[in-house]
Amino acid sequence: MKIVKQPRKKVVYGMVAIAAAFSVAAGAETLNSDKVLAKNEQQASNTQKISEDEAVRIALEKAGYKKEEVKDLKVKLDRDDERGSREVYEVEFTHERTEYEVDIDPVTKKVLYYEMDQQND
């Protein structure tokens, strides 16, 4: 007959303690991430933003046009709810029968969104 030993209570309690420690660490990491996010947002709000003219230049460069080649040019600094409520420059314009929409990060100058819509009249 084979004798099977039961796990000792110390081992079981030790495993529970380890699981609890991981839970606390995960919670601390979440809190830490929230603090980092808040700090990054604060730094971004203190960072120099590009001008509307610079946003227009970037959008037109992306589309391959000069300012005098487009019409119905609109630009505004707005909060984008789809991107965590961060600020973006929304630049819209038309060239011939194509409408363009370009979203630009006002701090990094990166194009976040680019869309062309051909109008069929």
Q: Partners of 99 in the beta sheet?
A: 94, 117
Contact (Cβ atoms closer than 8 angstroms) between residue 89 and residue 77: yes
Q: What is the pLDDT of residues 66-79, one digit of tens each?
A: 999 999 999 999 98
- Residue 84, amino acid: G
**pLDDT above 70 covers what percent of the chain?**
60
pLDDT at position 10 is: 53
Q: What is the dihedral of CA 46, 93, 82, 35, to 10 degrees?
A: -10
On whether the CB atoms of residues 106 and 100 are closer than 8 A, the answer is no
pLDDT of residue 22: 55
Which tens digit of pLDDT belongs to each residue from 81-113? 776 778 999 999 999 999 999 999 999 999 999
What are the distances in angstroms from CA 98 to CA 64, 69, 116? 13, 12, 6
